[in-house]
């Protein structure tokens, strides 16, 4: 009778905690950056919230700047990269893809704490130019490239009117950015009654933008399909 295979030892709780520690640190850092801003957040506060020593924090992220960069990559840059992959594989309507990308961004970023990173950068960019350049390279430029590429593809296929791409991207981004800033300022204080419904605003934005981009009105397309 052949010997039973030797069971693979499972990771100890200590080992599992060690593997999860970078994510725990990033979650603690994101929460504190949103609450206090970048300048006012201290590294020892992040370590304490994550339940580790300041020395342990520096083993993973040697400075507060590197910690902030890791937070941006995990919570923003990764989603932009996913959007680019979706766009590269899509073969159908650019209007549908554009709506999908914007809705997914709102669901994954706009509705959660990660949206507050945009507020931090707008408030503190002048005081931290190196971080501002990093944010430009990792978030703003790739976002413009992603949305600009979708608009350009729609124009090339004849689905969209020949609009100026760079300016159109700004018009696409501005309402969403405004909603994020509102959510992390007045919205957090619940100062409006009734409160603004961001999803409803996004729906109106998409309707207005896509109708404005299409080379042929939706009503005309529906008639042709009859």
Q: What are phi and psi of 61, to 5 degrees?
A: -135, 100
- CA atoms 116, 59, 21, 57: torsion sign: negative
pLDDT tier for residue 16 given thresholds of 50, 70 and 90? very low
Helices within the chain (DSSP H only)? 13-36, 43-50, 54-60, 64-72, 78-89, 94-105, 116-124, 129-135, 141-157, 165-183, 186-189, 198-213, 218-225
Q: Over the stretch 76-129, which tens digit does the pLDDT of each residue have?
A: 999 999 999 999 999 999 999 999 999 988 888 888 888 899 999 999 999 999
pTM of the model: 0.82
Question: In sequence order, what are the beta bridge partners of 88?
Answer: none
Residue 161 has pLDDT above 90, yes or no: yes
* The two structure tokens encoding residue 71: 């937070």
Domains and CATH numbers, the chain: 11-62 (1.10.10.60), 68-217 (1.10.357.10)
pLDDT of residue 155: 96
Query: Given this model, what pLDDT does residue 81 score?
Result: 93
């Amino acid at each position: 009778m052949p010997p039973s295979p030797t069971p693979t030892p499972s990771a100890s709780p200590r080992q599992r905690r060690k593997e999860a520690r970078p994510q725990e640190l990033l979650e603690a850092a994101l929460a504190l950056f949103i609450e206090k801003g970048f300048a006012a957040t201290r590294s020892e506060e992040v370590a304490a919230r994550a339940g580790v020593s300041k020395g342990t924090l520096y083993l993973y992220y040697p400075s507060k700047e590197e910690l902030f960069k890791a937070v941006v990559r995990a919570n923003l840059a990764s989603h932009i990269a996913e959007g680019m992959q979706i766009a590269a594989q899509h073969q159908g309507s650019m209007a549908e893809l554009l709506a999908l990308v914007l809705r997914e961004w709102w669901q994954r970023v706009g509705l959660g704490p990660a949206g507050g990173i945009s507020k931090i950068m707008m408030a503190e960019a002048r005081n931290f130019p190196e971080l501002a350049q990093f944010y430009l390279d990792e978030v703003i430029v790739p976002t413009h490239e992603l949305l600009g590429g979708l608009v350009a593809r729609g124009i090339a296929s004849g689905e969209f009117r020949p609009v100026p791409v760079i300016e159109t991207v700004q018009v696409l981004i501005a309402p969403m950015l405004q909603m994020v800033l509102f959510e992390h300022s007045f919205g957090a204080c619940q100062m409006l009654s009734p409160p603004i419904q961001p999803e409803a605003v996004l729906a109106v934005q998409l309707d207005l933008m896509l109708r404005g981009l299409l080379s042929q009105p939706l009503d005309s397309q529906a008639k042709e399909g009859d």
